[in-house]
Structure 1
Amino acid sequence: MAVPKKRTSKSKSKMRKANWKHKAYFSAKKSLSLAKSLLTGKSNSFIYIDIDGDNIKKD
């Protein structure tokens, strides 16, 4: 006979949700920082293809 599973506590589900939001915040912050460094031209560890000349640039 099937038995219902125990209910997850509110604190546990809130911790999981906060952790998920925390990871999303830091990945957004990192991508924004990378975009800013590419625009200023100060990036040292990112390789991309230049659309105008089809040359590989290392900024």
Structure 2
Amino acid sequence: MAVPKKRTSISKKRIHRNNWKKKGYLAALKAFSLAKSIYTRNSKSFFVQQKSNKDL
């Protein structure tokens, strides 16, 4: 027989939501950092194929 779940408290709901938001924030921060390092060509761990003048 189906039994309804207990209601989650507001504080617990807030904690879960903040953890979810923090995860997205950290992923965006990491992506932005990687994009910045590629743009400034200071990347040590990410390889980007450089176009030579012959290709242009």
The structure 1 segments of at least 4 consecutive aligned residues displaced by more than 3 Å after TM superposition are none
Query: What CA deviation, in whole Å up to 9, does each residue of 1:26-57 have, x standing for no partner?
Result: 1101100100100110001012345x46xxxx
Q: What count of residue pairs does the alignment treat as equivalent?
A: 52
Give the number of the structure whose residues are more often strand, by fraction: 1
Pairwise CA RMSD of aligned residues?
Answer: 1.6
TM-score by length of 2: 0.77
Percent identity over paired residues: 52
| TM-score, normalised by the number of residues in structure 1 | 0.73
- What 5-or-longer segments of structure 1 have no aligned partner? 54-59
3-state secondary structure, aligned to 2:48: strand
